[in-house]
Amino acid sequence: MKITLDGTVYEAEPGQTILEVARANGINIPTLCYMPGLPPFGACRICLVEVERSPALVAACTAPVMEGMNIKTNSKRVIDARRFVVQLLVSCHPLDCMTCEKTGDCTLQDLAYELGVTNPREDEGDRHKYPIDSSNPFIIRDYNKCILCQRCVRVCDEIQGIVAIKNINRGFDTKIATAYDGTLQDSNCVFCGQCVQACPVGALVPKKAVGKGRHWELQKVRTTCPYCGVGCQLNLHMKGDQIAYVSAVEDGSPNKGRLCVKGRFGYDFIYSEDRLKTPLIKENGAFREASWDEALDLVASKFKQIISESGPDAIAGVSCARSINEDSYQMQKLFRAVIGTNNIDHCART
């Protein structure tokens, strides 16, 4: 089918929404609640657009396209509506952007700047005064900054299947909380951190990232999670040679934007003083540091000595479950083709 967006005709497929067609053709329609991989929700009303012959503005994330649609994404009526919604959100939002961890990476902040929302509304209402929950080692919850976009609730429920958080109360007192409004550690939360990655504002932030660097100071480095053989793709957000926090690669296989608690929060070992940084060789009952060449030459000579004295089956190897499949393949090939033994196993099998 063909539809018109801002005066230009584009092709669209049945079942697509206005937002999907617009983004596929490089037209920006801002959103707060929309998240790829989740069904359309239409909670934030930021993506409102004007559709010809429709008396009301339409949420682009939920409205399916129809043949011959004529849509305006940036008319004065649309911009005024978006500005009004952002004004309402800002009117009860803490204005501590100078110290907020999400500064520079906050969608609400970006929208306020883009739409020229510089001050709260004159008829500003009450502000929330929820206590900040920093009781667990992974996530800081500041629900004074929550905009009720529901992204955290939906990823926890529809993607992770944990259902640790839901809406409680009504009206202005609506908030996202665990059962009985307790702490995350007293709920069925598994601390995967998907809610943190989904949050577009500063309501949920990784605790270890606090004070580690502003968004524009960080360099994003893609790598593979070292904790198991699945090969989940990570983004390390680095300031210099220090990791500020870890996020999942949204379009990276096999995890597609998802991580477990180890992959997202378990990077402290990198900076442990007990971590081995160079090979050690034991002499006279004590270890000494050695170069890689010296250590590998020693191992190879010991292998040759054992094979000559007792045969290749006197050597056995166990592959680590943290290794990727390619590493395990290379290890078994080393033992079978070079050393000459089939005594090779994998620790996960036992």
Angle at 57 between CA 54 and CA 60, to 5 degrees: 105
Per-residue pLDDT tens for 277-301? 899 999 999 999 999 999 999 999 9
Percentages (nearest 5) of helix, strand, coil residues in the chain: 30, 20, 50
Q: Does domain 2-74 have CATH number 3.30.200.20?
A: no
> Distance between alpha carbon 284 and the CA centroid of its chain, in Å?
49
The mean predicted confidence, pLDDT, of the chain is 93
Phi/psi for 163 (5° steps) reads 55, 50
Strand 70-72 and strand 2-5: the pairing is: parallel
State residue 126's pLDDT score: 77
- Domain coordinates of the chain in residue numbers? 2-74, 214-275, 280-349
Q: Is 247 helix (H, G, I), strand (E, B) or coil?
A: strand
Write the burial class of residue 245 (CB in 10 Å: 0-12 exposed, 13-18 middle, 19+ buried): buried
Per-residue pLDDT tens for 21-51? 999 999 999 999 999 889 989 999 999 999 9
State residue 321's pLDDT score: 77
Percent of the chain at pLDDT above 90? 84
Confidence of residue 123 (pLDDT cuts 50, 70, 90): low
> Which class does domain 214-275 fall in?
mainly beta
What single string gives the DSSP state of each residue in 258-292? ---HHHHH--GGGG-TTS--S-EEEETTEEEE--H
Per-residue pLDDT tens for 13-27? 999 999 999 999 999
Q: Do residues 59 and 47 lie in contact, with contact meaning Cβ atoms separated by under 8 Å? A: yes
Phi/psi for 186 (5° steps) reads -95, 5
State residue 143's pLDDT score: 93
**Among 194-208, 293-307, 310-324, which is the least confidently predicted range?**
310-324
Q: How far apart are the first and last CA of the chain?
A: 56
What average pLDDT does range 169-173 have in this prediction?
Answer: 92
Claim: this prediction has a pTM higher than 0.95: no
Task: Please say if the pLDDT value at position 203 is more than 90.
Answer: yes
> Of residues 122 and 336, which shows the higher confidence score?
336
CA distance 84 to 78: 10
CA distance 322 to 136: 27
Side chain identity, residue 146: C
State residue 183's pLDDT score: 92
Q: Could you give the residue ranges of the DSSP H alpha helices within 92-170?
A: 107-115, 151-154
DSSP character for 164?
A: -
Task: Please say if the pLDDT value at position 350 is more than 60.
Answer: no
State residue 348's pLDDT score: 73
Per-residue pLDDT tens for 72-120? 999 999 999 999 999 999 988 998 999 999 999 999 999 999 999 986 6
Side chain identity, residue 252: G
> What are the angstrom distances between the C-alpha of 172 and each of 14, 85, 144, 160, 200?
38, 15, 12, 28, 20
State residue 283's pLDDT score: 93
State residue 231's pLDDT score: 86
DSSP character for 207?
A: G
Tokens coding 23: 């983004």
Q: Do residues 143 and 94 lie in contact, with contact meaning Cβ atoms separated by under 8 Å? A: no
Counting every residue, how long is the chain? 350
Q: Could you give the residue ranges of the DSSP H alpha helices within the chain?
A: 18-24, 76-91, 107-115, 151-154, 194-198, 261-265, 292-310, 325-333
Task: Please say if the pLDDT value at position 323 is more than 80.
Answer: no
Q: Is 84 helix (H, G, I), strand (E, B) or coil?
A: helix
Task: Please say if the pLDDT value at position 172 is more than 70.
Answer: yes
Torsion of CA 16, 22, 28, 31, to 10 degrees: -20
